[in-house]
Amino acid sequence: MNKAAITGIGGYVPDHVLSNSDLEKMVDTTDDWIISRTGIKERRILKDSNKPTSYLAIKAAKNLINKNNLNPELIDLVIVATITPDFPVAATAAYVASKIGAKKAFAYDLQAACSGFLYGMSSAVSYINSGRYEKILLIGADKMSSIVDYKDRETCVIFGDGGGAVLFEKSKNNFGWEDEFFRSNGEDRKALKVKAGGSLFPTSSESYKNGWHNIYQEGKTVFKYAVSEMSYVTEEIFKRNNLNNENIDYLVPHQANKRIIDATIDRINISQEKVLMNISNYGNTTAATIPLLLYDYESKFKLGDNLVFSAFGGGFTWGSSYLTWAY
Query: Torsions phi, psi of 22, nearest 5?
Result: -65, -45
Active site residues: 114, 254, 284
Q: Do 9 and 298 form a contact (C-beta atoms < 8 A)?
A: yes
Amino acid in the structure at residue 289 = T
Determine the Cα angle at 15 with ends 70 and 59, to 5°. Answer: 20
Answer positive or negative: Cα dihedral of 140, 65, 145, 49.
negative
What is the rounded CA–CA span in Å between residue 29 and residue 84? 26
Residue 153 CA, chain-centre distance (Å), reads: 22
Q: Do 107 and 137 form a contact (C-beta atoms < 8 A)?
A: no
289 Cβ contact partners less than 8 Å away, ≥ 6 residues apart: 114, 117, 140, 254, 255, 256, 279, 282, 311
> Which of 297, 316, 317, 68 minimizes the C-alpha distance to 307?
297
